């Protein structure tokens, strides 16, 4: 809550936190507190809605990273690196520009289908290459490049100049256009995805010892894998359809959370969700104020912060040092 109030208060026009709290009280509970209408409009209609979407997106991506790293037993697994985000982008762009589905598919549905196709392609390629941990990462990199190239081809081939500029900015991560309608989709998806993953926390703990060990402990391996992957794909697809592709959240936040709370998923999943939410809210604040008069794509901010942070985690984490 503090991060949301901070995000709503900070910007080109500085607004006191008390005004933010009064605006929230008026909007939610009709408290009748005196607030300047202009300040109230900035807080409620612009800053707070995008902060809520940013928090939902950060939580969903962080939880997705935790789940993928557990299922694949690979410290580098995340929706961005495994091509899920790229596939979701291709699906969303196909619906928006090519009209895929003849108007029957929403942007989120197209992104979801693209995410599933991307993961299926990456999984199939990794299986053909030997099913090892390195094979999965290399297949993910190949899948990411393929779907990023496909997205670029669709945009350049079929979009006009204004559409191309807007979509390319969106693909780097853009919260400028989100409103409460988007929050009404992002919040339930993030909370539902977190709840499903927490319900499977014991199974995710068992996967740390491999699928055979998980099966020996009575875990329905195939069902859990399909449920978890579908949940991750849905969360990633919805967030990509709303704000574009944002990297490093699903990679860095799970490792940071493990350093703080340990590896038990009953604690790790909600902790990662909270850390991811706060991280992306603060990243959005930076994107709005770092260049005066301009909004920087949030994906640029997460990469600039996430890459050095991940390097520090790599150096500081004993498990990485032991594996060298």
pLDDT in tens, 279-310: 999 999 999 988 887 888 898 999 998 888 88
Q: What confidence tier does 268 reach under pLDDT thresholds 50, 70, 90?
A: very high
Q: Average of pLDDT values for 77-92? A: 87
Q: What is the model's pTM?
A: 0.88
Alpha-carbon distance 291 to 280, whole Å?
A: 18
**Residue 61: both structure tokens together:** 């991506």
Neighbours of 185 (CB within 10 A): 18
Instruction: Write out the two tokens for 117.
Output: 């196709």
pLDDT at residue 321 in the model:
56
- Mean pLDDT of all residues in 154-160: 82
Higher pLDDT, 57 or 101: 57
> How high is the pLDDT of residue 64?
95
pLDDT value, residue 324: 45
Q: CA nearest 300: which of 315, 287, 317? A: 287
**What span, in angstroms and rounded, lies between the C-alpha atoms of 300 and 296?**
7
Max Cα distance, the chain (Å): 65
Contact 159, 92 (CB under 8 A): no
Find out whether 86 and 151 touch, Cβ atoms under 8 Å. yes
Nearest to 315 by CA among 255, 247, 264: 255
């Amino acid at each position: 809550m503090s991060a949301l109030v901070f995000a709503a208060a900070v910007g080109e026009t500085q607004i006191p936190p008390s005004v933010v709290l009064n605006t929230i009280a008026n909007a939610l509970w009709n408290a009748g507190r005196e607030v300047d209408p202009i300040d109230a409009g900035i807080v409620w209609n612009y800053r707070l809605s995008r902060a809520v979407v940013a928090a939902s997106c950060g939580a969903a991506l962080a939880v997705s990273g935790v789940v993928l790293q557990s299922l694949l037993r690979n410290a580098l697994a995340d929706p961005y690196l495994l091509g899920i985000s790229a596939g979701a982008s291709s699906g969303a762009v196909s619906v928006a520009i090519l009209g895929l589905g003849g108007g029957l598919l929403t942007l989120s549905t197209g992104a979801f289908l693209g995410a599933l196709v991307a993961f299926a392609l990456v999984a199939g390629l990794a299986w053909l290459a030997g099913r090892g941990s390195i094979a999965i990462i290399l297949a993910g990199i190949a899948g990411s490049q393929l779907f990023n190239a496909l997205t670029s081809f669709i945009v350049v081939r079929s979009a006009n100049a204004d559409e191309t500029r807007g979509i390319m900015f969106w693909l780097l991560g853009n919260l400028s256009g989100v409103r409460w309608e988007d929050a009404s989709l992002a919040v339930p998806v993030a909370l539902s995805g977190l709840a499903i993953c927490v319900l499977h926390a014991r199974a995710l703990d068992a996967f740390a010892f491999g699928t055979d060990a998980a099966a020996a402990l009575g875990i329905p391996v195939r069902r859990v894998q399909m449920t978890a992957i579908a949940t991750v794909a849905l969360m990633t697809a919805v967030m990509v359809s709303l704000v574009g592709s944002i990297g490093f959240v699903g990679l860095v936040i799970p490792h940071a959370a493990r350093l703080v709370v340990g590896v038990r998923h009953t604690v790790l999943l909600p902790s990662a969700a909270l850390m991811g939410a706060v991280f992306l809210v603060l990243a959005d604040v930076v994107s709005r104020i770092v260049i005066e008069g301009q909004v920087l794509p949030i994906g640029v901010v997460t990469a600039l912060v996430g890459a050095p942070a991940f390097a520090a985690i790599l150096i500081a984490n004993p498990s990485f040092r032991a594996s060298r």
